[in-house]
Structure 1
Amino acid sequence: MRTWIGAALAVAMAFPAWSGVAQMGDDGLYKEPWMRDTFKDLREDLAEANAEGKRLVLFVEQRGCIYCHQMHEEVFSLPDVSEFIEENFFVVQINLHGDTEITDLDGESLSEKRATQKWRVLFTPNIIFLPEEVPEDSSAIEAAVAVMPGAFSKGTTLDMFTWVAEKRYELDNGEDFQRYHARRIQERDDGNTD
């Protein structure tokens, strides 16, 4: 009996407590509750996102990606980040090396790995933010209003998602994302915001 309890305790201690981290899918990618399981026809996904009043965003990830793990463990697991994404975005996950067929916004059908090559995605995570309206001949990367390549902290991530949700890329006020983010950092440092 003691041996069994000791072994169970050793196994439990060997794995970190990832209660806030998404579950691992069969494809080796983390699955957040707000990620959508779609047919990966991006025109259909865009229409559904628009119908829900949300923005379509593509999360390109890969199995074994330590930076993807970091984002899921340290950023996406935070309630305020998770809630903001769920309320404002329609998230479709793309496997950098996957074979699942995608129909790109321009109508081309190809595997996930071919699509990510077409979109010039070189590493993960890579988050591609799309507008509500996309010309018929534009691919996802051509239509993107912003791309977030890599793992970032909560502040940077939430600022990027907010900047896109508020359509600040359309504003002609001279405040691109870098200036917006710098202002938000200063506001947080001054205690004026979360």
Structure 2
Amino acid sequence: MKKLVFIGLLLLTANFAQAQEKIEWLKFEEAVAATEANPKMLLVDVYTDWCGWCKKMDKETFTDPDVIKYINEKFYAVKMNAEDNKREFDFKGKKYSEAKMAAAMRVQSYPNFVIIDPTLKNITQMPGYRQPAQFLEGLDQIIHNGFGTK
């Protein structure tokens, strides 16, 4: 009986730990450094504080276990506030704020997901709110159409 209780507690603990999994969000410069050390594409979630669809993505899509697993395995994930001019960082010899970087990536609507290849040269965008299955399908199409493999 003690063995069954122990196994039950172990399974409960494992399920709780799995439920706590989340996307490993980085700052832009952290993701750049990570991809230089271990090449992977960057997924940049460009948002604003007032964007309702951005909040819906955070609450529904970015909490989906399949989305979490896919993003953490295939990307360095970045959250970038398109209106933040306070925090600055260097990228390719220039200083950027998150707002200036979002503008440089030509983001004009929110939410917008910018995918940057491991060489940090080519980007593509996936704008708009998407439910988990749609989001994964969009990312999968980008990856399997050869983006980021050069």
TM-score, scaled relative to structure 1: 0.57
Q: Return 5+ residue gaps in structure 1 as ranges.
A: 1-19, 21-31, 136-142, 172-194
SS, match of residue 96 in structure 2: strand
Provide the residue aligned with 1:97 in structure 2: 83
Report the 3-state secondary structure (helix = DSSP H, G, I; strand = E; otherwise coil) of the residue aligned with 1:168.
coil
Aligned equivalents of 1:77, 1:128: Cα separation in 2: 19
Quote the residue 1:109 is aligned against: 95
Whether the aligned pair in 2 keeps the contact of 1:88 and 1:165 (CA below 8 Å) is no
Q: Is the 8 A contact 1:85 1:161 kept in 2?
A: no
Per-residue CA deviation, residues 53-93 of structure 1 (Å, 9 max, x unaligned), is: 53212111111211011112221111111111111110111
- Answer yes or no: is the 8 Å Cα contact 1:102–1:115 preserved in 2: no
Identity %: 24
Query: Which position in structure 2 is the counterpart of 1:70?
Result: 56
Q: Hey, what does 1:8 align to over in structure 2?
A: none
Letter of the structure 1 residue corresponding to residue 127 of structure 2? P
- 4+ residue segments displaced more than 4 Å: none
**Contact 1:60–1:127 (Cα < 8 Å) also in 2:** yes
Query: 2:89 aligns to what SS in structure 1?
Result: strand
Q: Does the 8 Å CA contact 2:25/2:78 hold for their aligned counterparts?
A: yes
User: 2:141 is matched with which residue?
Assistant: 163
Bigger fraction of residues in strand: 2
Give the secondary structure class of the aligned counterpart of 2:80. Answer: strand
User: Which one scores higher on RCO, CA 8 angstroms, separation ≥ 6?
Assistant: 2
Partner of 1:16: none
Asked if structure 2 preserves the Cα contact closer than 8 Å seen for 1:55 and 1:165, the reply is: no
Counterpart Cα distance in 1 of 2:129 and 2:82: 16
Give the Cα separation in 1 of the matches to 2:70 and 2:137.
11
Residue in 1 that maps onto 2:25: 35
Structure 2 residue runs of 5 or longer lacking an equivalent are 1-18
**TM-aligned CA deviation for residue 46 of structure 1:** 2.9
Kept after mapping to 2: 8 A contact 1:67/1:125 = yes
Distance 1:132 1:54, change over 3 A: closer
- TM score, norm. by length of structure 2: 0.71
For 1:60 and 1:162, how far apart are their aligned partners in 2?
19
